[in-house]
Amino acid sequence: MQRQFHFWAFFFSLKGRVTRLPFALTVLPFKLFFACVPHVMRAYSLPVSSVTMVLGIITICHLIVLWPLFAVTFKRLHDVGLSGFLALLASVPGILNFIASFIQSRALLDHAYNPTLHWTLMATTIAFYTISACTLALALWPGNKGPNQYGPSPRQPDMDKSDVF
């Protein structure tokens, strides 16, 4: 008997554990998307109004997926036996990126150079790639075999007495 997939529990609950594959298929595409968009914008040399619009759309997308990505990361940390609250550290670059994007869009609209913008963007970029490397490591790190303090193994199906006898 295999476990059923519960959409709302998977993306919104902080209870339980998540194995490597569902974690990787959920988190890595979003990381890749958020990493590639700034490079694409730079490559096409978009006008200021388009950059501001794209930054706004990215911010809205980031806010929409923030909780589901946090919940899945939280449960993946549970699967490897770590506290899910370490996922809060992964949220810091996203918050810093949001602030840096706001500062950047204001500077572009005002046609003003903001000297702190360069350092803010550099710090958020370093934080983003550091957290992305940790996310990749978490996607490759095997979970605890069997039950741990956060629940039963997601690899083992639920069994009750009627399944055994």
Structure confidence by residue, pLDDT tens digits, 102-111: 666 666 666 6
How far apart are alpha carbons 108 and 47 in whole angstroms?
A: 10
The CA radius of gyration of the chain, in Å to the nearest whole number, is 19
Number of separate domains in the chain:
1
The confidence score (pLDDT) of residue 24 equals: 93
Going by C-alpha positions, the residue among 1, 31, 3, 38 that lies closest to residue 138 is: 31
Task: Quote the CA–CA distance of 106 and 120 in Å, as a whole number.
Answer: 14
For residue 53, the model assigns a pLDDT of 76
The burial class, CB within 10 Å (0-12 / 13-18 / 19+), for 94 is: buried
Give the pLDDT of residue 1: 47
164 is a domain residue: no
Render 45-106 in DSSP notation, one character per residue: T--HHHHHHHHHHHHHHHHHHHHHHHHHHHHHHHHTTS-GGGHHHHHHHHHHHHHHHHHHHH
Angle at 98 between CA 84 and CA 29, to 5 degrees: 60
Residue 6 lies in a domain: no
Reply yes or no on whether the pLDDT at 21 is more than 80.
Answer: yes
State the pLDDT confidence band at 163, using cuts at 50, 70 and 90: very low
Instruction: Find the domain containing 148 and state its range.
Output: 16-157
Q: Is residue 163 part of a domain?
A: no
Write down the pTM of the prediction.
0.75
Whether residue 162 is predicted with pLDDT greater than 50 in this model: the reply is: no
Assess if residue 67 is contained within a domain: yes
Question: How confident is the prediction for the chain on average, in pLDDT?
Answer: 78
Residue 49 lies in a domain: yes
pLDDT in tens, 22-71: 999 999 888 888 777 766 766 777 676 676 777 777 778 878 888 898 99
pLDDT digits (tens, 9 = 90+) for 96-137: 766 766 666 666 666 666 666 677 777 777 877 888 888 899
Whole-angstrom distance, CA of residue 65 vs CA of residue 5: 19
